[in-house]
Structure 1
Amino acid sequence: MTSPVVISATAKHTATLIFFHGLGDTGHGWASSMGAVRSPHVKVICPTAPTMPVTLNAGFRMPSWFDLRTLDSSGPEDEEGIRTAAQVVHSLIAEEVAAGIPTTHIVLGGFSQGGALAMYSALTFPEPLAGIIALSAWLPLHQKFPAEAIGNRNTPLLQCHGDCDPIVPYRWGQMTASLLKQFMTQTEFKTYRGMMHTSSEEEMRDIKKFIEKVLKP
Protein backbone atom coordinates (compact mmCIF):
# COMPACT_ATOMS: atom_id res chain seq x y z
CA MET A 1 0.00 0.00 0.00
CA THR A 2 1.38 3.46 -0.85
CA SER A 3 1.95 5.67 2.16
CA PRO A 4 -1.08 7.71 3.20
CA VAL A 5 -1.44 11.47 2.93
CA VAL A 6 -1.12 12.81 6.47
CA ILE A 7 -2.11 16.29 7.61
CA SER A 8 -0.63 16.90 11.06
CA ALA A 9 -2.63 18.53 13.83
CA THR A 10 -1.86 22.24 14.20
CA ALA A 11 -2.50 22.18 17.97
CA LYS A 12 -1.66 19.37 20.42
CA HIS A 13 -2.62 16.14 18.62
CA THR A 14 -5.38 14.46 20.67
CA ALA A 15 -7.66 13.01 17.98
CA THR A 16 -7.45 11.47 14.49
CA LEU A 17 -9.70 11.34 11.43
CA ILE A 18 -9.00 8.47 9.01
CA PHE A 19 -10.75 9.07 5.68
CA PHE A 20 -11.03 6.63 2.75
CA HIS A 21 -11.43 7.77 -0.86
CA GLY A 22 -13.76 6.33 -3.51
CA LEU A 23 -13.00 3.98 -6.41
CA GLY A 24 -10.15 5.09 -8.69
CA ASP A 25 -9.11 8.01 -6.48
CA THR A 26 -6.13 8.46 -4.12
CA GLY A 27 -5.61 9.84 -0.63
CA HIS A 28 -4.88 13.23 -2.20
CA GLY A 29 -8.46 13.44 -3.52
CA TRP A 30 -9.97 14.22 -0.12
CA ALA A 31 -7.02 15.39 1.97
CA SER A 32 -7.40 19.15 1.50
CA SER A 33 -11.18 19.21 2.05
CA MET A 34 -10.84 17.07 5.21
CA GLY A 35 -7.98 19.28 6.36
CA ALA A 36 -10.29 22.27 5.92
CA VAL A 37 -13.09 20.89 8.12
CA ARG A 38 -11.10 19.27 10.92
CA SER A 39 -10.39 21.01 14.24
CA PRO A 40 -6.76 22.05 15.04
CA HIS A 41 -6.16 19.13 17.48
CA VAL A 42 -7.18 16.56 14.84
CA LYS A 43 -4.67 14.76 12.62
CA VAL A 44 -6.02 13.64 9.23
CA ILE A 45 -4.93 10.39 7.55
CA CYS A 46 -6.04 9.75 3.95
CA PRO A 47 -4.73 6.36 2.80
CA THR A 48 -4.59 5.31 -0.86
CA ALA A 49 -6.18 1.99 -1.80
CA PRO A 50 -4.10 -0.75 -3.45
CA THR A 51 -4.35 -0.96 -7.25
CA MET A 52 -6.32 -3.99 -8.43
CA PRO A 53 -8.47 -5.14 -11.37
CA VAL A 54 -12.10 -4.03 -10.83
CA THR A 55 -14.83 -6.26 -12.28
CA LEU A 56 -17.32 -3.36 -12.48
CA ASN A 57 -14.90 -1.49 -14.76
CA ALA A 58 -14.23 -4.40 -17.15
CA GLY A 59 -11.22 -5.60 -15.15
CA PHE A 60 -9.24 -2.36 -15.49
CA ARG A 61 -6.70 -1.86 -12.70
CA MET A 62 -7.27 1.11 -10.43
CA PRO A 63 -7.08 2.04 -6.74
CA SER A 64 -9.85 0.07 -5.02
CA TRP A 65 -10.38 -1.06 -1.42
CA PHE A 66 -11.97 -4.31 -2.64
CA ASP A 67 -13.34 -5.62 -5.92
CA LEU A 68 -16.70 -4.21 -6.98
CA ARG A 69 -18.65 -6.86 -8.90
CA THR A 70 -21.81 -4.79 -9.40
CA LEU A 71 -23.56 -1.72 -8.02
CA ASP A 72 -26.80 -3.62 -7.50
CA SER A 73 -27.79 -3.87 -3.83
CA SER A 74 -28.59 -7.58 -4.10
CA GLY A 75 -25.68 -8.52 -6.37
CA PRO A 76 -22.58 -10.61 -5.54
CA GLU A 77 -19.89 -9.03 -3.35
CA ASP A 78 -16.16 -9.53 -2.85
CA GLU A 79 -16.52 -10.84 0.71
CA GLU A 80 -12.87 -11.86 1.09
CA GLY A 81 -11.66 -8.49 -0.23
CA ILE A 82 -14.00 -6.55 2.06
CA ARG A 83 -12.82 -8.47 5.12
CA THR A 84 -9.15 -8.02 4.15
CA ALA A 85 -9.67 -4.25 3.66
CA ALA A 86 -11.33 -3.98 7.08
CA GLN A 87 -8.27 -5.63 8.66
CA VAL A 88 -6.10 -2.93 7.05
CA VAL A 89 -8.38 -0.29 8.59
CA HIS A 90 -8.17 -1.96 12.00
CA SER A 91 -4.36 -1.92 11.77
CA LEU A 92 -4.43 1.83 10.94
CA ILE A 93 -6.49 2.36 14.11
CA ALA A 94 -3.99 0.25 16.08
CA GLU A 95 -1.12 2.47 14.87
CA GLU A 96 -2.89 5.57 16.21
CA VAL A 97 -3.62 3.83 19.53
CA ALA A 98 0.07 2.85 19.77
CA ALA A 99 0.91 6.53 19.27
CA GLY A 100 -1.25 7.45 22.27
CA ILE A 101 -4.62 8.29 20.71
CA PRO A 102 -7.50 6.30 22.30
CA THR A 103 -10.09 4.73 19.99
CA THR A 104 -12.72 7.08 21.47
CA HIS A 105 -10.79 9.95 19.83
CA ILE A 106 -10.73 8.39 16.36
CA VAL A 107 -13.25 8.99 13.57
CA LEU A 108 -13.50 6.74 10.50
CA GLY A 109 -14.95 8.28 7.35
CA GLY A 110 -15.09 7.80 3.62
CA PHE A 111 -16.71 8.57 0.29
CA SER A 112 -18.57 5.98 -1.82
CA GLN A 113 -16.56 2.71 -1.65
CA GLY A 114 -14.45 4.36 1.06
CA GLY A 115 -17.58 5.18 3.06
CA ALA A 116 -18.73 1.59 2.67
CA LEU A 117 -15.37 0.46 4.05
CA ALA A 118 -15.54 2.95 6.95
CA MET A 119 -18.98 1.71 8.06
CA TYR A 120 -18.12 -1.98 7.71
CA SER A 121 -14.77 -1.54 9.50
CA ALA A 122 -16.33 0.38 12.39
CA LEU A 123 -19.10 -2.17 12.96
CA THR A 124 -16.64 -5.09 12.89
CA PHE A 125 -14.25 -3.35 15.33
CA PRO A 126 -14.78 -4.25 19.02
CA GLU A 127 -13.51 -1.00 20.61
CA PRO A 128 -15.63 2.18 20.67
CA LEU A 129 -14.75 4.88 18.13
CA ALA A 130 -15.66 8.60 18.31
CA GLY A 131 -17.73 8.68 15.13
CA ILE A 132 -18.33 7.39 11.60
CA ILE A 133 -18.84 9.49 8.43
CA ALA A 134 -20.25 7.83 5.31
CA LEU A 135 -20.71 9.94 2.18
CA SER A 136 -22.69 8.62 -0.83
CA ALA A 137 -22.11 5.11 0.47
CA TRP A 138 -23.70 1.78 1.41
CA LEU A 139 -23.10 -1.00 3.95
CA PRO A 140 -21.19 -3.91 2.34
CA LEU A 141 -22.30 -7.51 3.11
CA HIS A 142 -25.50 -6.01 4.52
CA GLN A 143 -27.20 -9.43 4.79
CA LYS A 144 -24.71 -10.29 7.55
CA PHE A 145 -25.94 -7.48 9.79
CA PRO A 146 -26.80 -6.91 12.58
CA ALA A 147 -25.19 -10.28 13.51
CA GLU A 148 -21.68 -9.16 12.53
CA ALA A 149 -21.90 -5.78 14.26
CA ILE A 150 -19.62 -6.61 17.18
CA GLY A 151 -18.92 -2.98 18.06
CA ASN A 152 -19.80 0.68 17.59
CA ARG A 153 -23.56 0.22 17.63
CA ASN A 154 -23.78 3.28 19.90
CA THR A 155 -21.24 5.38 17.99
CA PRO A 156 -22.56 8.51 16.25
CA LEU A 157 -22.89 7.96 12.48
CA LEU A 158 -23.31 10.75 9.94
CA GLN A 159 -24.55 9.35 6.62
CA CYS A 160 -24.86 11.81 3.72
CA HIS A 161 -26.27 11.22 0.21
CA GLY A 162 -27.29 13.27 -2.79
CA ASP A 163 -30.81 12.51 -4.08
CA CYS A 164 -29.61 12.64 -7.72
CA ASP A 165 -26.68 10.22 -7.31
CA PRO A 166 -26.34 8.26 -10.60
CA ILE A 167 -23.57 5.93 -9.32
CA VAL A 168 -24.60 4.81 -5.81
CA PRO A 169 -28.37 5.24 -5.98
CA TYR A 170 -29.98 7.44 -3.32
CA ARG A 171 -32.41 4.58 -2.67
CA TRP A 172 -29.44 2.42 -1.70
CA GLY A 173 -28.35 5.03 0.83
CA GLN A 174 -31.90 5.09 2.24
CA MET A 175 -32.02 1.30 2.51
CA THR A 176 -28.67 1.33 4.31
CA ALA A 177 -29.92 4.02 6.70
CA SER A 178 -33.06 2.08 7.61
CA LEU A 179 -31.04 -1.12 8.20
CA LEU A 180 -28.55 0.71 10.45
CA LYS A 181 -31.37 2.32 12.44
CA GLN A 182 -32.50 -1.16 13.47
CA PHE A 183 -29.38 -1.78 15.55
CA MET A 184 -27.49 1.52 15.89
CA THR A 185 -28.60 4.17 18.39
CA GLN A 186 -27.11 7.41 17.00
CA THR A 187 -27.57 7.48 13.22
CA GLU A 188 -28.28 10.55 11.15
CA PHE A 189 -29.13 10.41 7.43
CA LYS A 190 -28.81 13.70 5.57
CA THR A 191 -30.15 14.28 2.05
CA TYR A 192 -28.71 16.88 -0.32
CA ARG A 193 -31.21 18.07 -2.94
CA GLY A 194 -29.95 17.83 -6.52
CA MET A 195 -26.50 16.53 -5.49
CA MET A 196 -24.96 13.81 -7.68
CA HIS A 197 -22.07 11.45 -6.80
CA THR A 198 -19.97 14.22 -5.32
CA SER A 199 -19.78 16.54 -2.32
CA SER A 200 -21.11 20.05 -1.66
CA GLU A 201 -20.36 23.05 0.54
CA GLU A 202 -23.46 22.29 2.61
CA GLU A 203 -22.31 18.70 3.15
CA MET A 204 -18.80 19.85 4.16
CA ARG A 205 -20.35 22.24 6.71
CA ASP A 206 -22.36 19.34 8.17
CA ILE A 207 -19.19 17.20 8.37
CA LYS A 208 -17.34 20.04 10.14
CA LYS A 209 -20.14 20.34 12.73
CA PHE A 210 -20.16 16.57 13.25
CA ILE A 211 -16.37 16.43 13.75
CA GLU A 212 -16.52 19.33 16.25
CA LYS A 213 -19.25 17.51 18.18
CA VAL A 214 -17.63 14.05 18.38
CA LEU A 215 -13.96 15.12 18.65
CA LYS A 216 -13.94 17.79 21.33
CA PRO A 217 -10.42 19.02 22.21
Structure 2
Amino acid sequence: MADDSKPTLLERIVLEPAKSATACVIWLHGLGADGHDFVPIVRELGLPTELGVRFVFPHAPAIGVTINGGMVMPAWYDILGMDFERREDEAGVLLSTRRLEALIADQRAQGIASERIVVAGFSQGGAIALHAGLRHAEPLAGIMALSTYMVLGESLEAQASEANRGVPILQCHGSQDPMVPIGRGQAARERMEALGYAVEWHSYPMQHQVCAEEIDEVGRWLRRVLA
Protein backbone atom coordinates (compact mmCIF):
# COMPACT_ATOMS: atom_id res chain seq x y z
CA MET A 1 0.00 0.00 0.00
CA ALA A 2 1.32 3.45 -0.90
CA ASP A 3 2.47 5.60 2.01
CA ASP A 4 2.26 9.11 0.57
CA SER A 5 2.69 11.78 3.24
CA LYS A 6 0.48 14.16 1.23
CA PRO A 7 -2.13 11.99 -0.48
CA THR A 8 -4.19 13.40 -3.32
CA LEU A 9 -7.80 14.18 -2.51
CA LEU A 10 -10.10 11.21 -2.75
CA GLU A 11 -12.88 11.09 -5.31
CA ARG A 12 -16.01 12.27 -3.53
CA ILE A 13 -19.63 13.34 -3.76
CA VAL A 14 -20.29 16.90 -2.60
CA LEU A 15 -23.76 18.15 -1.71
CA GLU A 16 -23.88 21.93 -1.49
CA PRO A 17 -26.41 23.77 0.68
CA ALA A 18 -28.98 26.16 -0.76
CA LYS A 19 -26.98 29.11 0.61
CA SER A 20 -23.22 29.60 0.86
CA ALA A 21 -21.57 26.82 2.86
CA THR A 22 -20.36 27.82 6.32
CA ALA A 23 -20.13 24.30 7.77
CA CYS A 24 -19.22 20.85 6.50
CA VAL A 25 -19.85 17.21 7.37
CA ILE A 26 -17.28 14.77 5.96
CA TRP A 27 -18.96 11.35 6.12
CA LEU A 28 -17.05 8.11 5.53
CA HIS A 29 -18.87 4.97 4.37
CA GLY A 30 -18.38 1.40 5.57
CA LEU A 31 -16.44 -1.54 4.13
CA GLY A 32 -17.48 -2.48 0.59
CA ALA A 33 -19.76 0.54 0.12
CA ASP A 34 -18.98 3.90 -1.46
CA GLY A 35 -19.74 7.58 -1.04
CA HIS A 36 -23.26 7.19 -2.41
CA ASP A 37 -24.28 5.10 0.61
CA PHE A 38 -25.42 7.91 2.91
CA VAL A 39 -26.35 10.57 0.36
CA PRO A 40 -30.11 9.81 0.61
CA ILE A 41 -30.05 10.41 4.37
CA VAL A 42 -29.15 14.10 4.05
CA ARG A 43 -32.68 15.16 3.11
CA GLU A 44 -34.05 13.26 6.12
CA LEU A 45 -31.91 15.11 8.67
CA GLY A 46 -34.10 18.19 8.79
CA LEU A 47 -31.23 20.66 8.83
CA PRO A 48 -32.32 24.29 8.45
CA THR A 49 -31.06 26.14 5.38
CA GLU A 50 -29.42 28.84 7.49
CA LEU A 51 -26.87 26.35 8.85
CA GLY A 52 -25.26 26.26 5.41
CA VAL A 53 -24.00 22.67 5.70
CA ARG A 54 -22.00 21.12 2.89
CA PHE A 55 -21.82 17.31 2.88
CA VAL A 56 -18.74 15.53 1.54
CA PHE A 57 -18.95 11.78 0.91
CA PRO A 58 -15.56 10.41 -0.17
CA HIS A 59 -15.04 7.05 -1.87
CA ALA A 60 -12.52 4.74 -0.21
CA PRO A 61 -9.96 3.23 -2.61
CA ALA A 62 -10.38 -0.41 -3.62
CA ILE A 63 -7.92 -2.74 -1.87
CA GLY A 64 -7.70 -6.44 -1.12
CA VAL A 65 -9.37 -7.32 2.19
CA THR A 66 -7.77 -10.30 3.89
CA ILE A 67 -10.80 -11.37 5.92
CA ASN A 68 -12.81 -11.56 2.67
CA GLY A 69 -10.34 -13.86 0.98
CA GLY A 70 -8.35 -10.99 -0.48
CA MET A 71 -11.34 -9.74 -2.50
CA VAL A 72 -10.77 -6.23 -3.80
CA MET A 73 -13.37 -3.76 -2.54
CA PRO A 74 -13.63 -0.19 -1.25
CA ALA A 75 -12.02 -0.16 2.19
CA TRP A 76 -10.34 2.34 4.49
CA TYR A 77 -7.85 -0.30 5.66
CA ASP A 78 -7.34 -4.04 5.54
CA ILE A 79 -9.05 -6.32 8.05
CA LEU A 80 -6.63 -9.11 8.77
CA GLY A 81 -8.88 -11.45 10.76
CA MET A 82 -11.52 -11.74 13.44
CA ASP A 83 -8.89 -10.96 16.05
CA PHE A 84 -8.45 -7.53 14.45
CA GLU A 85 -8.07 -5.81 17.81
CA ARG A 86 -4.70 -7.54 18.03
CA ARG A 87 -3.91 -7.68 14.30
CA GLU A 88 -4.62 -4.21 12.99
CA ASP A 89 -3.58 -2.74 9.64
CA GLU A 90 -1.79 0.22 11.20
CA ALA A 91 -0.36 1.46 7.88
CA GLY A 92 -3.81 1.42 6.28
CA VAL A 93 -5.41 3.26 9.22
CA LEU A 94 -2.72 5.93 9.15
CA LEU A 95 -3.00 6.38 5.39
CA SER A 96 -6.78 6.81 5.57
CA THR A 97 -6.31 9.24 8.45
CA ARG A 98 -4.03 11.34 6.25
CA ARG A 99 -6.61 11.17 3.48
CA LEU A 100 -9.29 12.45 5.85
CA GLU A 101 -6.93 15.17 7.06
CA ALA A 102 -6.46 16.21 3.42
CA LEU A 103 -10.23 16.51 3.01
CA ILE A 104 -10.43 18.64 6.16
CA ALA A 105 -7.61 20.85 4.85
CA ASP A 106 -9.46 21.22 1.55
CA GLN A 107 -12.54 22.51 3.39
CA ARG A 108 -10.39 24.87 5.42
CA ALA A 109 -8.91 26.20 2.17
CA GLN A 110 -12.46 26.84 0.97
CA GLY A 111 -13.13 29.03 3.99
CA ILE A 112 -14.81 26.60 6.40
CA ALA A 113 -13.51 27.05 9.95
CA SER A 114 -12.33 23.90 11.68
CA GLU A 115 -14.88 24.53 14.45
CA ARG A 116 -17.59 24.13 11.78
CA ILE A 117 -16.39 20.76 10.45
CA VAL A 118 -17.86 17.44 11.60
CA VAL A 119 -16.08 14.19 10.79
CA ALA A 120 -18.47 11.26 10.61
CA GLY A 121 -18.45 7.64 9.60
CA PHE A 122 -20.23 4.31 9.62
CA SER A 123 -18.49 1.07 10.66
CA GLN A 124 -14.98 1.11 9.16
CA GLY A 125 -15.48 4.74 8.20
CA GLY A 126 -16.50 5.53 11.76
CA ALA A 127 -13.28 3.97 13.06
CA ILE A 128 -11.29 6.37 10.87
CA ALA A 129 -13.47 9.32 11.93
CA LEU A 130 -12.76 8.54 15.59
CA HIS A 131 -9.06 7.92 15.03
CA ALA A 132 -8.51 11.09 13.02
CA GLY A 133 -10.92 13.35 14.87
CA LEU A 134 -9.54 12.70 18.34
CA ARG A 135 -6.02 13.42 17.06
CA HIS A 136 -6.82 16.42 14.84
CA ALA A 137 -4.71 19.45 15.74
CA GLU A 138 -7.50 22.03 15.41
CA PRO A 139 -10.86 22.01 17.24
CA LEU A 140 -13.66 20.31 15.32
CA ALA A 141 -17.42 20.82 15.57
CA GLY A 142 -17.96 17.16 16.37
CA ILE A 143 -17.23 13.49 15.70
CA MET A 144 -20.05 11.14 14.70
CA ALA A 145 -19.35 7.41 15.00
CA LEU A 146 -22.07 5.02 13.82
CA SER A 147 -22.00 1.24 14.36
CA THR A 148 -18.26 1.35 14.82
CA TYR A 149 -15.30 0.64 17.07
CA MET A 150 -11.86 2.02 17.90
CA VAL A 151 -8.67 1.22 16.01
CA LEU A 152 -5.16 1.73 17.42
CA GLY A 153 -6.80 2.60 20.72
CA GLU A 154 -3.66 2.00 22.76
CA SER A 155 -2.04 5.07 21.18
CA LEU A 156 -4.91 7.45 21.89
CA GLU A 157 -3.79 8.67 25.30
CA ALA A 158 -0.37 9.69 23.98
CA GLN A 159 -1.61 11.08 20.65
CA ALA A 160 -4.88 12.79 21.66
CA SER A 161 -5.15 16.40 20.54
CA GLU A 162 -5.64 18.92 23.33
CA ALA A 163 -7.72 20.99 20.89
CA ASN A 164 -10.38 18.26 20.79
CA ARG A 165 -10.50 17.16 24.43
CA GLY A 166 -13.99 18.66 24.64
CA VAL A 167 -15.20 17.80 21.14
CA PRO A 168 -18.85 16.65 20.99
CA ILE A 169 -18.94 12.92 20.20
CA LEU A 170 -22.06 11.07 19.05
CA GLN A 171 -21.98 7.27 19.09
CA CYS A 172 -24.90 5.14 17.85
CA HIS A 173 -25.03 1.34 17.61
CA GLY A 174 -27.44 -1.48 16.92
CA SER A 175 -28.04 -3.84 19.83
CA GLN A 176 -28.42 -6.77 17.39
CA ASP A 177 -25.42 -5.96 15.18
CA PRO A 178 -23.79 -9.23 14.01
CA MET A 179 -20.98 -7.50 12.09
CA VAL A 180 -19.71 -5.13 14.77
CA PRO A 181 -21.11 -6.40 18.07
CA ILE A 182 -22.38 -3.66 20.33
CA GLY A 183 -19.72 -4.61 22.88
CA ARG A 184 -17.05 -3.24 20.55
CA GLY A 185 -18.85 0.08 20.35
CA GLN A 186 -19.25 0.15 24.12
CA ALA A 187 -15.54 -0.62 24.55
CA ALA A 188 -14.69 2.40 22.38
CA ARG A 189 -17.02 4.56 24.43
CA GLU A 190 -15.50 3.32 27.70
CA ARG A 191 -12.00 3.97 26.40
CA MET A 192 -12.87 7.55 25.52
CA GLU A 193 -14.72 8.18 28.78
CA ALA A 194 -11.76 6.84 30.75
CA LEU A 195 -9.65 9.54 29.08
CA GLY A 196 -12.16 12.26 29.94
CA TYR A 197 -14.19 12.55 26.75
CA ALA A 198 -17.94 13.15 26.98
CA VAL A 199 -19.69 10.68 24.68
CA GLU A 200 -23.37 10.87 23.76
CA TRP A 201 -24.44 7.23 23.30
CA HIS A 202 -27.60 5.81 21.73
CA SER A 203 -28.43 2.19 20.95
CA TYR A 204 -31.29 0.90 18.80
CA PRO A 205 -32.87 -2.55 18.27
CA MET A 206 -31.31 -3.02 14.83
CA GLN A 207 -28.48 -4.86 13.08
CA HIS A 208 -25.56 -3.33 11.10
CA GLN A 209 -27.59 -0.50 9.61
CA VAL A 210 -29.24 2.81 10.37
CA CYS A 211 -32.85 3.36 11.41
CA ALA A 212 -35.30 6.26 11.33
CA GLU A 213 -34.89 7.01 15.04
CA GLU A 214 -31.12 7.17 14.63
CA ILE A 215 -31.39 9.50 11.63
CA ASP A 216 -33.62 11.79 13.70
CA GLU A 217 -31.02 11.78 16.49
CA VAL A 218 -28.21 12.54 14.05
CA GLY A 219 -30.20 15.50 12.73
CA ARG A 220 -30.81 16.85 16.24
CA TRP A 221 -27.15 16.43 17.15
CA LEU A 222 -25.92 18.18 13.98
CA ARG A 223 -28.30 21.07 14.54
CA ARG A 224 -26.90 21.43 18.04
CA VAL A 225 -23.16 21.21 17.30
CA LEU A 226 -23.42 23.41 14.18
CA ALA A 227 -25.81 25.99 15.65
Q: State the TM-score, normalized to the length of structure 2.
A: 0.91
- Aligned equivalents of 1:184, 1:27: Cα separation in 2: 32
Any stretches of 5+ residues in structure 2 without a counterpart? 1-8
Aligned to 1:128: 139
SS of corresponding position for 2:80: coil
2:127 aligns with 116
Amino acid across the alignment from 1:42: V
- 1:181 is aligned to 193
Q: Is the 8 A contact 2:175 2:206 kept in 1?
A: yes
Match of 1:9 among 14, 17, 27: 17
The amino acid of 1:172's aligned partner reads R
Assess, with a 3 A threshold, how the Cα gap between structure 1 residues 2 and 155 changes in structure 2: closer, same or farther.
Answer: closer
CA distance in 2, matches of 1:95, 1:35: 24
The Cα shift of 1:73 comes to 5.6
Deviation, structure 1 residue 142: 1.1
How does the TM-score come out when normalised to structure 1?
A: 0.95
Distance change (3 Å), C-alpha of 1:167 and 1:99:
same
Gaps of 5+ in 1: none
Residue in structure 2 matched with residue 62 of structure 1 by the alignment? 73
CA distance in structure 1 between the partners assigned to 2:108 and 2:10 by the alignment: 21
Q: Is 1:28 matched with 2:36?
A: yes
Amino acid at match of 1:129: L
**How many aligned positions are there?**
215
DSSP 3-state at the match of 2:64: strand
Counterpart CA distance in 2 for 1:2 and 1:126 is 21
The answer as to whether partners of 2:44 and 2:215 remain within 8 angstroms in 1 is no
Asked whether 1:161 is paired with 2:169, we answer no
Q: CA deviation at 1:146?
A: 1.6
SS in 2 for 1:121: helix
1:119 aligned counterpart, secondary structure: helix
The alpha-carbon deviation at position 186 of structure 1 amounts to: 2.5
Task: Report SS of the residue matched to 2:77.
Answer: coil
CA separation in 1, counterparts of 2:142 and 2:210? 19
Partner of 2:209: 198
CA positional deviation for 1:49: 0.1
| 1-structure distance, mates of 2:125, 2:42 | 14
Between the aligned partners of 1:70 and 1:120, the Cα distance in structure 2 is: 20
Check 1:204–1:27 CA distance in 2 against 1; reply closer, same or farther (3 A cut). same
Q: Structure 2: which amino acid aligns with 1:153? A: R
Shift of the 15–2 alpha-carbon distance from structure 1 to 2, 3 Å rule, reads closer
User: What is the deviation of 1:2?
Assistant: 5.5
Deviates further, 30-39 or 123-132: 30-39
Matching residue of 1:147 = 158
